[in-house]
Amino acid sequence: MKKMKTNMKKIVPFIGLTFFFCWLMVALFFAFGGKRDTPASFGMTTIYMFMPMAVAIIIQKLIYKEPLKKPLGIFFLPRFSVTCDSKQNLSSLPPLFTVR
Is there a domain that residue 23 lies in? yes
| pLDDT reported for residue 90 | 54
Supply the pTM of this predicted model.
Answer: 0.63
| pLDDT reported for residue 100 | 44
* Residues 6+ positions from 90 with CB-CB distance below 8 Å: 82, 84
| pLDDT reported for residue 41 | 92
* pLDDT tens per residue, range 1-27: 555 566 788 889 999 999 999 999 999
Is there a domain that residue 97 lies in? no
41 CB neighbour count, 10 Å cutoff: 16
Q: How far is CA 67 from CA 52, 62, 70, 75, 79, in A?
A: 17, 10, 7, 13, 21
Is there a domain that residue 72 lies in? no
61 CB neighbour count, 10 Å cutoff: 13
Q: Alpha carbon 78 to chain centroid distance?
A: 16
Structural domain including 29 reads 2-67
Given a contact cutoff of 8 angstroms between Cβ atoms, the answer to whether 25 and 47 are in contact is: yes
**Segments of the chain with pLDDT less than 70:** 1-6, 75-100
| pLDDT reported for residue 69 | 76
Is there a domain that residue 91 lies in? no
Indicate the number of domains in the chain.
1
